């Protein structure tokens, strides 16, 4: 009897899990397979604008039907052969790395300071970091346009102090992209860093100090290694989406700020070349598979550690 | 002491970096001059103009509807997913499930958008659904990427929660469904509320995925903002941004007040229970 009840319970669980499971299979996993399929197809003027991979060829004279499967590798060959794509991938990685390092340099002291603050103050201080994340990403990027453009806030300030006499424009350059992306992704870095730093046992540092360790050395040998999981989680949380970033380089970057997200967008919307856009997406995904898996590993361990 | 001083400076620099751009944005929404960065006197004319901009208001209405529907759907799906990950132990396909839950958190938006659009196109060819693209497809797309955030919030809340309450209810003969609705759900209610708010904001904020999966006639608010921002800055957008921030700030303020009150109530109940026992 109990066994039967257990079975019904387990069956009920199965049904419950099945709903989000099927949703994610259909709307998250299957789409990647379709993208992969279309990346092997050929662009053509049609609705939708690509040739079908699988086709039934009916030969009326012979009275036979043939199944034809066409696989077209030329989209990938184009990615490897054209400097534009390779440069875009390399530049995306460079911009994402710079963004990650800037977030780390700015976010680590913030997370550390909040973790060392009085317990009652930590919540509100952390809230102040997360709050901008709740306001629109697009609008936060927009705010920087007014600051960085010629005759904008920075320019006016520099001219007023006499540091420059000519109009000085940071907007539409790689610098503007670094600033904008650091600005937007900073909370993603501070959050996991704070989570690990807050759990750090302060008696460890006291023990190091008692044994004659200087504060800096104690930081380097105790705090930094122990906060490594937070550093890794935060860095990946910033790095992975940054590589495929589109909005920030489009609004703050110059026409020569080449990033792979922009290339994909243009292939899709401007050139209407869906197969090449799909190939770009698959190549980007392959590049990100390893970082994403490392992130999932770290994320899983973090959640388990919450027990 | 010296080090703490430097740390405080770093902290204040960080806050200035985060808030000065927002403050300037709000300040210039009350600027008389069309040149956003030149101060021409106090004025609320951009707010008046904003309220007469039908295209923008229509887009805002569509976005709010999509955000409310997708946040609700993603809270339901995300709560179930978080529960499964935190409480069901090892079940078949758990690794894949966990992977599909966390991957959308970091997946570049262009990939999500493109892959969902190609799915919708393929589905339409194969079974005739969805018929064209618009509100339905945007809602489905937003539900898919926001449910990951909800699931992670619910999972971490459940993991840090003592399982003994649920076990006690089970021992007293409550069915799993009853345990969930009577015990688990009220405890994780604050996490569900913040998950809903987060999903709502993320949906209201998305421009990339929506651009891929929307059709003619279904332009969301971020898409309108994006295309007008590309042509330069306009004080109307500043006014709109200010209004949106006021709404978000009010929402968060009310939510945190409610949660703080619940927390106090809980503490009081616990004390009563201890004293009574």
Among A13, A19, A20, the strongest candidate for a mutation testing the B interface, having the largest count of B CBs within 10 A, is A20
Taking the C-alpha atoms of residue B263 and residue B25, their distance in angstroms, rounded to an integer, is 35
Q: CB–CB of B24 and A135 under 8 A?
A: no
Cis status of the peptide bond prior to B163, with omega within 30 of 0? no
The mean per-residue pLDDT over the stretch B21-27 comes to 88
In terms of Cα–Cα distance, which of B112, B121, B118 is closest to B141? B112
**Is the complex ipTM higher than 0.85?**
yes
Q: How confident is the model at residue B4 (pLDDT cuts 50, 70, 90)?
A: low
Chain A with chain B: Cβ pairs closer than 8 A: 246
Percentage with pLDDT > 70 across chain A:
95
Window A:63-102, CB contacts with B under 8 Å:
none
Q: Is there a contact between A113 and B241 if contact means CB atoms under 8 Å apart?
A: no
pLDDT at residue A165 greater than cutoff 80: no
Question: How many CA atoms lie within 13 Å of B200's alpha carbon, on the beta-carbon side?
Answer: 16
Q: What is the pLDDT of residue B127?
A: 87
Tell which residue, A294, A282, A291, A300, has the closest CA to residue A80: A282
Confidence of residue A6 (pLDDT cuts 50, 70, 90): low
SS3 for A200?
coil
Exposed/middle/buried for A252, CB within 10 Å: 0-12, 13-18, 19+? buried
Residue A17 confidence (pLDDT) above 70: yes
Give the mean model confidence (pLDDT) for residues A151-162. 78
- Average pLDDT of chain B? 86
Whether A151 has its CB under 8 Å from any CB of chain B: the answer is yes
Residue A190 has pLDDT above 80, yes or no: yes
∠ CA B216-B218-B224, rounded to 5°: 100
Beta pairing partners, B129: none
The predicted-structure confidence for B58-117, as pLDDT tens digits, reads as follows 999 999 999 999 999 999 999 999 998 888 877 778 888 888 888 888 899 999 999 999
Distance from B196 to chain A by nearest Cα, in Å? Answer: 12
Residue A66, φ and ψ in degrees, nearest 5: -115, 145
Nearest to A143 among B24, B115, B151 (CB): B24
Q: Which two tokens stand for residue A123?
A: 């919540």
pLDDT tier, A5 (very low <50, low <70, confident <90, very high otherwise): low
Domains annotated for chain B, with CATH where assigned, are 47-271 (1.10.3720.10)
pLDDT digits (tens, 9 = 90+) for A20-58: 999 999 999 999 999 998 898 888 777 788 877 777 777
Residues in chain A: 307
Place of tokens 């345990």: B179
Cis peptide before A113 (omega within 30 of 0): no
* DSSP class per residue in chain B: -HHHHHHHHHHHHHHHHHHHHHHHHHHHHTBSSSSTTS---B--HHHHHHHT-HHHHHHHHHHHHHHHHHHHHHHHHHHHHHHHHHHS-S-TTHHHHHHHHHHHHHS-HHHHHHHHHHHHHHHHHHH--S-SSSHHHHHHHHHHHHHHHHHHHHHHHHHTS-THHHHHHHHTT--HHHHIIIIIHHHHHHHHHHHHHHHHHHHHH--HHHHHH--TT---HHHHHHHHHHT---HHHHHHHHHHHHHHHHHHHHHHHHHHHHHHHHHHHHHHHHHH-
Q: With cut-offs at 50, 70 and 90, classify the pLDDT of residue A119.
A: confident
Residue of B93, B103, B159 with shortest CB distance to A303: B159
How many residues are recorded in chain B? Answer: 277
CA distance to partner chain A, nearest, from residue B148 (Å): 10
State the fold for domain A74-305. Answer: MetI-like fold (1.10.3720)
Q: d(Cα B44, Cα B50) in Å, to the nearest integer?
A: 10
Residue B125: the pLDDT is 86
Q: Looking at chain A from residue 280 to 299, which residues have their Cβ under 8 Å from any Cβ of chain B?
A: 281, 284-285, 288, 291-292, 295-296, 299
């Amino acid at each position: 009897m109990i066994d039967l009840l257990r079975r019904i319970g387990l069956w009920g669980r199965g049904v419950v899990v099945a709903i989000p499971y099927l949703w994610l299979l259909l709307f998250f996993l299957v789409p990647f397979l379709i993208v992969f399929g279309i990346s092997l197809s050929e662009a053509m003027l049609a609705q939708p604008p690509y040739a079908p991979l699988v086709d039934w060829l009916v030969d009326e004279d012979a009275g036979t039907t043939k199944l034809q499967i066409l696989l077209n590798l030329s989209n990938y060959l184009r990615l490897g052969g054209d400097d534009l794509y390779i440069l875009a991938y390399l530049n995306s990685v460079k911009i994402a790395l710079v963004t990650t390092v800037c977030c780390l340099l700015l976010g680590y002291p913030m997370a550390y300071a909040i973790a060392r603050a009085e317990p009652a103050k930590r919540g509100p201080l952390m809230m102040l970091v997360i709050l901008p994340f709740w306001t629109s990403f697009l609008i936060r990027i927009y705010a920087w346009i007014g600051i960085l453009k010629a005759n904008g806030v920075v320019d006016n300030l520099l001219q007023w102090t006499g540091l420059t006499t000519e109009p000085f424009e940071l907007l539409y350059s790689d610098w503007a992209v670094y600033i904008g992306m650091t600005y937007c992704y900073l909370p993603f870095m501070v959050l996991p860093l704070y989570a690990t730093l807050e759990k750090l046992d302060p008696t460890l540092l006291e023990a190091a100090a008692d044994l004659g360790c200087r504060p800096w050395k104690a930081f380097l040998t105790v705090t930094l290694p122990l906060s490594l999981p937070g550093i890794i989680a935060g860095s990946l949380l910033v790095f992975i989406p940054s590589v495929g970033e589109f909005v920030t380089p489009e609004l703050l970057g110059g026409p020569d700020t080449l990033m792979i997200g922009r290339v994909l967008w243009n292939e899709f919307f401007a050139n209407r070349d869906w197969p090449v856009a799909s190939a770009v997406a698959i190549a980007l995904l392959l590049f990100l598979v390893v970082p994403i898996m490392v992130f999932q590993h770290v994320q899983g361990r973090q959640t388990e550690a919450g027990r | 002491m010296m080090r703490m001083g430097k740390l405080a400076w770093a902290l204040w620099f960080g806050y200035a970096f985060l808030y000065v751009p927002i403050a300037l944005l709000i300040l210039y929404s009350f600027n008389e001059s069309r040149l956003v960065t030149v101060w021409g006197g106090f004025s609320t004319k951009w707010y008046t103009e904003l309220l007469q901009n039908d295209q923008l208001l229509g887009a805002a209405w569509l976005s709010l509807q999509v955000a409310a529907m997708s946040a609700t759907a993603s809270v339901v799906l995300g709560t179930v997913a978080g529960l499964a990950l935190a409480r069901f132990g090892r079940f078949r396909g758990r690794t894949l499930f966990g992977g599909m839950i966390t991957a959308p958190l970091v997946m570049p938006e262009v990939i999500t958008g493109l892959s969902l659009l190609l799915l919708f196109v393929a589905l339409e060819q194969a079974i005739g659904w969805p018929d064209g693209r618009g509100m339905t497809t945007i809602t489905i797309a937003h539900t898919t990427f926001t449910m990951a955030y909800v699931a992670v919030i619910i999972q971490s809340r459940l993991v840090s929660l003592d399982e003994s309450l649920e076990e006690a209810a089970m021992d007293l003969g409550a069915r799993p469904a009853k345990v969930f609705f009577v015990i688990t759900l009220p405890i994780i209610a604050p996490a569900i509320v913040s998950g809903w708010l987060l999903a709502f904001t993320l949906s209201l904020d998305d421009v990339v995925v929506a651009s891929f999966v929307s059709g003619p006639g279904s332009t969301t608010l971020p898409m309108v903002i994006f295309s007008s921002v590309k042509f330069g800055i306009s004080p109307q957008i500043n006014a709109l941004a200010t209004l949106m921030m006021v709404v978000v700030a009010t929402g968060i303020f009310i939510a945190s007040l409610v949660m703080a009150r619940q927390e106090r109530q809980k503490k009081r109940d616990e004390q009563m229970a201890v004293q009574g026992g």
